[in-house]
Amino acid sequence: MNNIEIEDRTFEILLENHTISKRTRLIGIQINVDYEKRCPVFIGVLNGSFLFMADLLKEVEIPCEIGFIRVSSYEGAESSGSIKEAFGLPDNLHNRDIIIVEDIVDSGLTLNYVINEIQKQVPASVKVCSLLFKPAALKVPIKELEYVGFEIANEFVVGYGLDYVGLGRNLKDIYREKTVLSPLP
């Protein structure tokens, strides 16, 4: 029950949509309090953040601006290990309060790159809001990580924005990859 297949892999339910919604609501309330009388710029990192960004921003009631960036890796790179470029970064972030929105912090290398790029414009503040965080996978510390939906184990997850080979981003819930147990000898 609750297993899904995507291409060659099997996934099982990790977080149901109502659980994600409840947590997102609480994060939105916290941001409303923390940024009262300010006008932050939310920057979503595409593609994975698109659903979380939309649902989070529905809970944000303070005045704010919203944008998205896309981060590209070097061709042939295995994972997010070697970041090449950030596309679409606004150039008017000086003195602004920035909240970067991510679906997941894994190694932290994507965010490390994005934060360094944003810092070049000398903003007033930079914080990160990520739905998921894998502490055991972190390779670089992200001191700006202020809002985290769920800390999860170092397992591959899909759904609610997160893909496997380009598929599964549209799933309402989040699933983790099922480990295949080898048969007893």
Ligand X SMILES: O=P(O)(O)OC[C@H]1O[C@H](OP(=O)(O)OP(=O)(O)O)[C@H](O)[C@@H]1O
Ligand Y SMILES: Nc1nc2[nH]cnc2c(=O)[nH]1
Is residue 105 close enough to count as binding ligand X by CB under 6 A? yes
Tokens 């994975």: give the residue. 48
Q: How far is the CB of 164 from ligand Y (least distance, A)?
A: 6
Rg of the chain, C-alpha, whole Å: 17
Partner whose binding site includes residue 47, from ligand X, ligand Y, none (CB under 5 to 8 Å by kind): ligand X
**Residue 65 CB neighbour total at 10 angstroms:** 14
The C-alpha atoms of residue 76 and residue 82 are separated, in whole angstroms, by 10
Q: Give yes or no for a contact between 107 and 140, defined as CB atoms under 8 angstroms apart.
A: yes
34 is an interface residue for ligand Y by CB under 6 A:
no
CB atoms within 10 A of CB 102: 26
Catalytic residue status for 34: no
Nearer to ligand Y, 75 or 78 (CB): 78
Closest separation between CB of residue 4 and ligand X, Å?
18
Q: Give the x/- contact pattern for ligand X in 62-101, rule: CB under 6 A.
A: ------------------x---------------------
DSSP helix/strand/coil, 53: helix
Interface residue with ligand X, options 102, 144, 146, 173 (CB under 6 A): 102
Binding-site member from 106, 144, 146, 173 for ligand Y (CB under 6 A): 106
If one asks whether residue 30 binds ligand X (CB under 6 A), the answer comes out as no
* 174 touches ligand Y (CB under 6 A): no
Question: Residues 39, 58, 124, 156: which binds ligand Y (CB under 6 A)?
Answer: 156
Burial class (CB in 10 A: 0-12, 13-18, 19+), 48: buried
Q: Which does 156 bind (CB under 5 to 8 A by kind): ligand X, ligand Y, none?
A: ligand Y
Count of residues in contact with ligand Y, rule CB under 6 A: 8
Measured between alpha carbons, how far is residue 168 from residues 7, 49, 62, 77, 157 in Å? 10, 13, 32, 22, 10
Structure tokens at 27: 């994060």
Catalytically active residues, by annotation = 106
The contact set with ligand Y (CB under 6 A) reads: 104, 106, 156-158, 162-164
